[in-house]
A and B are shown apart, each in its own frame.
Chain A
Amino acid sequence: MKISNAIRTTVSAALLIATPTLAFAHATLEVKQATLKASYKAVMRIGHGCEGTATLKVRIQVPEGYINVKPMPKAGWKMETVVGKYAKEYATEHVKLTEGVKEVIWTGKLLDAHYDEFVLTGTIDGSVAPNSTMWFPTVQECEKGFNRWIEIPAAGKSPSDYKEPAPGLRVVAPAN
């Protein structure tokens, strides 16, 4: 009996953990919280194609304040970046940054039945307001149609109120 109880507990716990994976229906960030002035690895999870068709292109827009971004190449995927001026100058310990990667585009093929991750790494600048949300608008281009994960919630609403919410990252102050 003890064993079956343990199994039941484990199953319940597994279900609890599994619940957030429902979010795989959307494009989401694996880690949804980051600390100011710290590096952050953004892992964008793509759970399905558009209307059952394969994804051919994934584009991620880099939010302002996420600086010094380097995307991770993927085998089988062609990767391009759009480099442009930042809205302002960011001063790090070593250099002053005025421009950087603003958008990353991966071109390849991901079947609707498969899952994949697209990775960027960079730093959350200290000038970003603590307890704010950074949005990573992401566009999936498929054999048929688009998924645009670009809906930014209006004041008083949450991403779950939307059909295609933009993946969000909560930024918090470092715990001294």
Chain B
Amino acid sequence: MFVASLMALFFVFATSWTQCAFAHAVLLQTQPAEGTVLAESPERLVLTFNEPVTPLVVQVIDPTGVRLAPDTIDVNNGAMTVRFSQTLAKGTSLLSYRVISPDGHPVAGSVSFSVGHPSVGVAASDPTPPVLKVLIWLARVGFYIGLLAGIGGAFFRNWIESDLPATKPARQQMSWLIKAGLLSAVVGWGLQGLDATGAGFESIVSPPVWGVALSTSYALTLATGALAMLVALVAGSSFRRPTGKLLSAAALAGAGAALSLSGHASSAEPRALMGLAVGLHGICVAFWAGALLPLLDASRRFDFWALLRRFSHFAVPAVVLLGLTGVGIASVQLASPAALLTTAYGQILALKLIAVALLLCLALVNRFWLTPALADGAEHIPRKLRTSIQAELALMVVILCLAGLWRFTPPPRALLIADAQPAHLHIHTEQAMVDVTLTPGHAGLVNVGLYFQNGEFGPLTPKEVTVQFSLPSAGIEAIERKATPGPDGLWSAGPFNLQPAGAWDLRVDALITDFSKAILEDRIEIRP
């Protein structure tokens, strides 16, 4: 009954998560705009997002490097107004923000502007300091070890080793792995909070930091994983009872569910299938990784051969499933084979594949040479097998370390999506305003979508709209097209052949009455 409830709980978690939208907040406009030189210190700064956001951390780093906290932050729909009482010193300041989208994904960035004259010294930096990155990575690897090797060990003891006497060290090893995993989960939770808020290490004691981490999808993975590890711990101590079997199976399923709840791979489309593939991949890894320590421990026993044969019986289908899911996930994530070498994500995958290939070689040697030889009773075989299993263990750790690095690299699939991302521009005059979307936002044939509102955010239906682009710096004169209205109040124009990349001048003419026209002009950056 308990197991059934746990399974149901995992299922509810998994399905509710996949229903979440992944549309993150996009910064449309800032006042002052990036690179503006102001005559005087601004009284307020306005960041306009495409959807309502919740500010996490907003600060201004002045030209001397001092961090200033705002007096007030007001959010009105997507417009976030930040007010300061301090006067900024002359030079370039940096407004750094971190907000949370309605989907719980933190969005961070910075805008630099100058008072009086630009200065050097303040630059937008990688928001995650290197020390924090290393700690996040270590916590993740620790979590993986507990989740996969620990839970896998509990499963092995209950299902494969069930009728054979387990040694005390084997039992302790598994318990320690799980405890390390649980500790890593807690540490990982706090570090995730520090990363989400951009706060310093001293803030690890502040509850909001931990609260913010709860709104990220990784928290779901940590919570599910921790629950699964606790269940595995119970399963480990109820060894050789039916509950032990059921609990360890539930824990194994939980490990798979935990991995499928967050991460780059399981958020790829088709999400349900990718989540399932990630979950199965994780379960197979757990099965394999969990078996290594108990096998090593059992290698000195007289009945080692029987145990090894039983493990092999399950290991072959597990490895096949592991390979199939792995190839499936990689092919979706990589988008193209070349990405294996050209992107950081691909390079990590390439290293991981090398480690997996070595691991498979060892497994094949064990399965088709050492195991039959052991059955024949050759004397030196147990020692060779031990060495081989130790090497497998080391490779497994390397693989988990590599997998942990993916936390910091967007997959090529996401890079492609990012490349296809539209460019946005919001032009606001007293008379009218328009949200312009350029799809895609990079050089080439670009379609333009326009949504108009009057100066007070009310509805505005122009009689006629024309759009023109020009790039005077490259000697490209205006390319003009009439826009056509769509049924939903959205106007579209194009395609425009915007080549080369650069800061194009955009002009939108909206005829409001026969005698009045709103001319909306701005510059928009077209990516290469």
Contacts and interface: CB of A to CB of B under 8 A. Distances in A.
Interface string B421-436: 0000000010000000
A58 to B, nearest CB: 12
A148 B511 contact: yes
Interface in B497-528: 511, 514-517, 519, 521
B515 A151 contact: no
A151 B519 contact: yes
B519 A137 contact: no
A139 interface: yes
A139 B515 contact: yes
Contacts of A169: none
B515 A61 contact: yes
B514 A139 contact: yes
Interface residues of B, number: 8
B481 to A, nearest CB: 15
Nearest to A141: B514
A59 B515 CA distance: 9
Contacts of A154: 429, 519, 521
B464 to A, nearest CB: 9
Nearest to A162: B519
B514 A59 contact: yes
Contacts of B514: 59, 139, 148, 150
Contact of A150 (B429, B515, B521): B515
Interface in A146-176: 148, 150-151, 154, 162
A148 B429 CA distance: 21
Contact of B516 (A103, A137, A162): A137
B517 A148 contact: yes
A148 B516 CA distance: 9
Contacts of A162: 519
A30 B191 CA distance: 74
Contacts of B511: 148
B507 to A, nearest CB: 10
Interface string A60-74: 010000000000000
Interface string B169-198: 000000000000000000000000000000
Interface in B283-341: none
Interface in A116-152: 137, 139, 148, 150-151
B295 to A, nearest CB: 77
Contacts of A137: 515-516
Interface of A: 59, 61, 103, 137, 139, 148, 150-151, 154, 162
Interface of B: 429, 511, 514-517, 519, 521
> Which 4 A-B pairs give the minimum distances between C-beta atoms?
A137-B515, A61-B515, A150-B517, A150-B515
